[in-house]
Amino acid sequence: MPKVMAAGKTKVVIVGGGLGGLACARRLARHHDKLDICLVDRKTNHDFPPSFPWVTVRRRRAGNVSRPLEQLVRRGIRFTQAEVTGIDLDRGAISTISGKIPYDQLVLAPGATLTPESVDGLAEAAHGFYTLPDAERLRDALVTFGGGRVLIAVVAAPYRSLAAPYEAAFLINDFLRKRDVPAKVDVATAEPRPIPAADHEVGDRVAATLERRGIGFQADRLLESVDPAAREARFSDGSEPFDLLIAIPPHRAPGFIAVSPLAGPNGWIRAAPFSLSVHSNVYAIGDVTEIELAGGAKLPKAGVLAQAEAAVVADNIATTAAGYRPRREFDGSLDYYLELGSGRAARAKGDFYRSARGRLRFRRPARRWHRAKVLFERRSLRQLR
């Protein structure tokens, strides 16, 4: 492996304390003798998003799935609570509301911003579960729900976690059934089928499982507005009544990214597919990226992919700091567990870089996949011990 020049301790700044940013920081901490690592986030806690659907149905408490980011100091990682407002690529610094932070290597992992306000009436009428406070509010609504129609609306793609709307549908349907609440759960999505980022086989299997559970599914439904008083969701092709509305709202790139020179046409960062680099000393991982696949499809936004990307970026930064040329590449592979309720989950495994639709292999639901998902949760939260 050819050696390159490296001098002093490399300053690595990671923006974002989500799944990708946290995994990157922890992996870099193995090389703290060569690296000065600083993680910056506007929040004080890391909340674990894959557990939010469990929170909504009282399978987890908020305290079980949230950890203070200041605990990173035990691993030799500095934590700075601040909101990032800009990036100065020429000077090698990020701007925050508290001042500038210089870097030698920058990892951008700020995630995505939810914008329910972009659809008229949605913020006022709909519950959600894409933040921990929202998941808690939805839990309270479900506990007191007397019955009727539960409508889960996927407003637009892309959104975080390719199977989250369907996990929520399965878990909520199971929760209400066990409580003998007379309810009908339906999913309406702007997409052509469940999990369109995967191949048709995966989508067909999810749709069949929804049908077996008595959960309605409507594809190609574009939500234009919501009337909170009338409890009516208005789609481009007609209206749907609801008693409880749950929305996966539009996702956008964070503001400081959207106005930066790194932003692509849709506001997301177009990272190099294999190296995940976006500038000579800048990488991007996780939900903030837009990686194009064969045929024009995009790599989905998923926590397991963000963690895999983080490992590649961390190892390449450490290799560079040691004076060698980076060699690791992200391979686009995914191993995902889809929670179905009643202690069962399905497993989808494959490689998105081999084809536009991922060639995912779908394993039949089983209790062992649920246990594997729980183990993934435990291992991920262990990063902040």
C-alpha span between 283 and 328 (Å, rounded):
13
Share of the chain above pLDDT 70, in %: 97
**Average pLDDT for the chain:** 93
Domains of the chain: 10-112+253-321 (3.50.50.60), 116-193+204-251 (3.50.50.60)
pLDDT at 22: 96
Asked if pLDDT for residue 144 goes beyond 50, the answer is: yes
62-103 pLDDT tens trace: 999 999 999 999 999 999 999 999 999 999 999 999 999 999
pLDDT at 362: 81
Rounded to an integer, the average pLDDT of 129-149 is 98
Q: What is the pLDDT confidence band of residue 5, given thresholds at 50, 70 and 90?
A: very low
pLDDT at 1: 42
* C-alpha gyration radius of the chain: 21
Asked if pLDDT for residue 7 goes beyond 60, the answer is: no
C-alpha span between 181 and 144 (Å, rounded):
10
256-287 pLDDT tens trace: 999 999 999 999 999 999 999 999 999 999 99
Asked if pLDDT for residue 356 goes beyond 60, the answer is: no
Contacts of residue 51, Cβ cutoff 8 Å, sequence gap at least 6: 60, 64, 65, 377
Name the pTM for this structure.
0.94
pLDDT at 8: 72
Handedness of CA 43, 45, 51, 54 (dihedral sign): negative
Q: What is the pLDDT confidence band of residue 353, given thresholds at 50, 70 and 90?
A: confident
152-208 pLDDT tens trace: 999 999 999 989 999 999 999 999 999 999 999 999 999 999 988 877 888 898 999
18-29 pLDDT tens trace: 999 999 999 999
